[in-house]
Chains A and B, each alone.
Chain A
Amino acid sequence: MSSTPTPVPPPVRLITRDDVAALAAGAAVFGTGGGGSVHAVQLSVEVAIEANGPVRVVGVDELGPDDAVIIMSAMGAPAVGIEMLGASSQAHTLLREVERLIGRPITTVMAAEIGGSNGVAPVGWAATLGLAVLDADGMGRAFPEATMISMNVAGLPSEFAVMSDVVGNVTVLRTIDIAWLERHARAFTVAAGGIALGAHYLLTHETAPGAVIEGTVSRAVHVGRRLLSASEPVAEISEELGAAVLLGGKVIDIDRNTAGGFTRGSVTIDGTGDDRGRMLRVEIQNENLVVIEDGAVIVSAPDLVTILDSETGEAISTEMLRFGQRVSVIAWACDPLWRTPRGIELAGPRAFGYDFDYVPFDGVAETSSPEHDAPGSAAIETPEVAR
């Protein structure tokens, strides 16, 4: 029952106002439960495109020698982000400082992570700045740490980072590595009132190939379009992604707490319909990281796990999970870059503190077959509700 590859739709090369809803819905699916809510940012991107016109999307193979790509992302506390909303001038401030540093114009903006709000917002910044967006991102999903980015996997250094806040303060950070960058960036974010905009990782037509995850903006739009127009959205989204539907059921337990800046916990889903009698547990650290059935790990990061509303197909972020929701758990393979030794070191199960090795998920939906019981079966305790 492995998913057969479907004909790939042509890449998206222009994002109009009417495409933003699809991009947002798709980005939420790639958010794997995290990445921030797409609802408010969808509104701001629509406003920016209405004011400035549609945004060009450029493929990595279309970059020329004159192109310069910069990654832009927002950083901060979601609870502050719903109150102190962004300023249009922030993107301008940031861009001016980057261009002054590198002595040449930036042509293209890339998302750090396609998953969640940071996958949608760069389109609005590109519209405001009159730039293109790269059909790529640094994660192919959402991850909680700045170090978990494809350029870091590829060994590409970030020579500088620029951050700006809502009132116009701007700072340049030159740190010895990206782990230190995260620490200093967080300090700036606190001074800025809990939310800041950042730019880092200058990329060119020479450095981008192999260091970014390609085609993800197009993919998010395609997934979102299928989601918004489908009569059976879960099946169509899965087909579009090449994902397996692990289980359809209802949420029967949510164990969630916030500590150390992360939402940690698990959600237990009891199978219904054809899946009656089965039960899955999804382990969460901001994102959905591990799926366990009968005490065995069946999927783990960096492969992708998303919980969809069974009826609408909309991705449900971890903070929106509620008891009794009818949901479908889908999983699909990560980009090959994450399956390299360096990728697994940065974003495999052990990077999140789990004591088992990564076993690639191959998209086979028959998860209860015995051969899947092997990996990690000794490492993860069976949840009490499953007994």
Chain B
Amino acid sequence: MSAAIRDLSVGIDVGGTNTDAVVLDADGTVIAWTKQTTTPDVTGGIRAALAAVLGDLGSARDRVSRVMLGTTHATNAIVRRRGLGRVAVIRLGAPASTEFPSLAGWPADLRDTVLAGALLAGGGHLVDGYPLSPLDTDGIRRFLDSLEGSYDAVAVCGIFSPSFPDQELEVAALIGDHVGVDVPVSLSHEIGALGLLERENATVLNAALYGIARDVTHALLTVVTEEQLDAATFFAQNDGTLMAVEYAARYPVLTIGSGPANSIRGAAFLSGADNAIIIDVGGTTSDLGVLVDRFPRESTLPREIGGVRTNFRMPDILSVGLGGGTIIDTTTGAPGFDSVGYRLAEEALLFGGKTPTLTDAAAMVTPDMIPGHTLPTLDRATRSALGNALAVAHDRIEAAVERMSLGRVGLPLIVVGGGGFLVPDRVLGASEVLHPARGNVANAVGAAIALAGGRADQLCDYADRTSAIEAAGRAAIERAIQAGADPRLVEIVDVLETPISYSSRATLKVSVKAAGPLALIGNPASFVSHTPKDAS
């Protein structure tokens, strides 16, 4: 360990198209950034991005103490059905739930790719902890034997296991004894909340992603080792918090929503806001999210990933079909649903192409918008269509902002992404519109500043509410520490309470989240409280 001040953080975002990297100093200033092309093996893109920013740092590279990576790699693997492992699925709770076979709601091609076999075994609990049926250990052994090793991982999901997790742990030990500890096992109580099908789906996806997770974690560790960086490595997860690389390797499914989460937190950080509405304007869509006390607001609705319903903790995102590449219908003067996408630089009028886009509409109003490019002379009808389309786009953005605000007025609107020029300078319902510097790499900044967090749920009688919240809080803190948080600084950041209708006793579900800055680093508070110096 060198004696130098080690106060720099590297954030890397591996997207489908680009791999971005940034370096932040202890004050939160972006002191280096780059945009590289994502490579099929992932490693190449990470290597190029890390080399570029470390090159900019020069001798200051020794000050880098940690590297955080956010990625849509797992999401893409599920959506494209590529690189997924085969999973043996064990549900505990027979004879309950026979009406809903495992993976019944999945798209058939994804199910065929992933499912090695499914067993509904005796086990599980009632809501009050009473056993549903005796645990069928012999049945589980026979099931595993019958698959003759044709699986890469095992997923275990017990009825009411989030409230009573011991049985899943017992089954994990049984599997380890029977087929060896090399076979990875996903346990549902470690992955999702109540809601059997969604939690089971998430657990199976997690098990199917172990191979992918190995690739990405390996890529990050390889590149960091190649660069001889003495730095701790982390992955960003769905809710804008980080996890240690070993944890990411065990829970790869938790990285699935990290892209939007990083963009929200990165945008907030670059602008210095704790509470704000964020709009990330890309080429095809604009994604809006809300920052509440430094955290992305989570969605309360089930989320689908590649056609599979899950109940992950995901940021509440509203996607609107508006981006810089959105094609304008010149007959109606309305923005269409289609986009020229990555071909913007060839097809838009501004770049000498033939397709009128929202970029052209914005350039008509602001002629110097993109230096070195001017619009060709346009006929009156086209000018009118472009003007109209921009007005419609502004209206839709305003409606989306209002919808995300939940009636709270006076929140700033923070604009990031390549198509940020589509957002007008004044938006009804927003106190101000901010375009922070480095908004083009907001995702990588979000990865660099993420906290370590954990969440835990508990069902209880209403009378036991206080002790249930305390118990869930302890479990959440333990999970946050497991994910890398500094035990001295971790705190409870959110408590959700859900009353249960129709129960004769007043029953409550409490859900508690804890988060804190990463351990290992001095003065970590500066990573959340400082406004970056180069923000506009």
Contacts and interface: CB of A to CB of B under 8 A. Distances in A.
B98 A83 contact: no
B160 interface: yes
27 contacts: A47-B99, A47-B104, A48-B99, A77-B127, A77-B502, A77-B503, A79-B194, A79-B501, A79-B507, A80-B500, A82-B196, A82-B198, A83-B127, A83-B159, A83-B160, A84-B97, A85-B196, A86-B96, A87-B96, A87-B99, A88-B99, A89-B98, A166-B97, A190-B503, A258-B499, A261-B501, A324-B405
Given A40-B100, A166-B95, A324-B406, A84 B159 contact: yes
A20 B433 CA distance: 47
Contacts of B504: 186-187, 189-190, 261
Interface stretch (B36-44, B128-136, B245-253, B348-356): B128-136
Given A40-B197, A79-B194, A124-B99, A84 B501 contact: no
Interface on chain B toward A: helix, strand, loop, or mixed SS? loop
A82 B198 CA distance: 9
B96 A166 contact: yes
A257 B197 CA distance: 27
B298 interface: no
A323 B406 contact: yes
A320 B299 CA distance: 12
Interface in A115-156: 124
A193 B97 contact: no
Enumerate the 8 nearest inter-chain pairs by beta-carbon distance, A residue then B residue, closest first.
A193-B126, A324-B403, A166-B96, A85-B97, A258-B499, A44-B99, A79-B500, A77-B502
Contacts of B403: 323-325
A257 B194 CA distance: 21
Nearest to A253: B407
Contacts of B159: 83-85
A123 B96 CA distance: 19
A87 B97 contact: yes
Interface in B143-194: 159-160, 194
B52 to A, nearest CB: 42
Contact of B127 (A167, A193, A324): A193
Interface string A223-244: 0000000000000000000000
A387 B159 CA distance: 49
Interface string A66-90: 0000000000111110111111110
B502 A76 contact: yes
A48 B98 CA distance: 10
A265 to B, nearest CB: 12
A190 B160 CA distance: 16
B188 to A, nearest CB: 11
Interface in A30-57: 40, 43-44, 47-48
Nearest to B459: A79
Given A40-B197, A187-B504, A261-B502, A86 B126 contact: no
Interface centre among A47, A84, A263 (most CB of B within 10 A): A84
A45 to B, nearest CB: 9
A79 B509 contact: yes
A82 B95 contact: no
A275 B156 CA distance: 52
A63 interface: no
B498 interface: yes
A252 interface: yes
Given A47-B104, A193-B128, A194-B126, A83 B196 contact: yes
B291 to A, nearest CB: 17
Contacts of A88: 98-99
Interface in B485-508: 498-505, 507
Nearest to A166: B96
A168 interface: yes
For this complex, into which size category does the number of interface residues on chain A fall? 35 or more
B259 interface: no
Interface in B67-105: 93, 95-101, 104-105
Interface of B: 93, 95-101, 104-105, 124, 126-128, 130, 132-133, 159-160, 194-198, 301, 402-407, 498-505, 507, 509
A236 to B, nearest CB: 22
Contact of B95 (A80, A168, A186, A261): A168
B129 to A, nearest CB: 10
B132 A167 contact: yes
Contacts of B124: 84
A19 B369 CA distance: 53
A258 B501 CA distance: 7
B184 to A, nearest CB: 25
A84 B196 contact: yes
Given A77-B502, A263-B501, 20 more contacts: A43-B100, A43-B104, A43-B197, A47-B100, A47-B101, A77-B500, A82-B194, A82-B196, A82-B197, A83-B127, A84-B127, A84-B132, A84-B196, A88-B98, A89-B95, A124-B99, A166-B96, A187-B504, A194-B126, A320-B301
Nearest to B408: A323
Contacts of A44: 99-100
B96 to A, nearest CB: 4
A324 B509 CA distance: 26
Nearest to B300: A322
Contacts of B405: 324
B181 to A, nearest CB: 30
A262 interface: yes
Given A40-B197, A167-B133, A86 B99 contact: yes
Contacts of B197: 40, 43, 82, 85
A167 B159 CA distance: 13
A319 to B, nearest CB: 8
Contacts of A168: 95
B407 A194 contact: no
B300 to A, nearest CB: 8
A248 B63 CA distance: 59
Nearest to B199: A83
Contacts of B501: 77-79, 258, 261-263, 286
A78 B126 contact: no
Nearest to A183: B504
A87 B98 CA distance: 5
B406 to A, nearest CB: 4
Contacts of A167: 95-96, 132-133
B373 to A, nearest CB: 37
A82 B500 CA distance: 12
B502 A87 contact: no
Contacts of A257: 499
A83 B104 contact: no
B429 to A, nearest CB: 11
A83 to B, nearest CB: 5
A80 B406 contact: no
Interface in A195-209: none
A194 B127 contact: yes
Interface centre among A78, A87, A189, A253 (most CB of B within 10 A): A87
A47 B104 CA distance: 8
Nearest to A324: B403
Nearest to B161: A83
Contacts of B509: 79
Contacts of A258: 499-501
Contacts of B98: 86-89
Contacts of A324: 402-407
Interface in A75-118: 76-80, 82-89
Contacts of B132: 84, 166-167, 193
Contacts of A189: 504
A44 B101 CA distance: 9
Contacts of B99: 44, 47-48, 85-88, 124
A85 B100 contact: yes
A124 B130 CA distance: 28
Contacts of B96: 84-87, 166-167
Interface string A259-291: 001110000000000000000000000100000
A166 B124 CA distance: 12
A124 B99 CA distance: 9
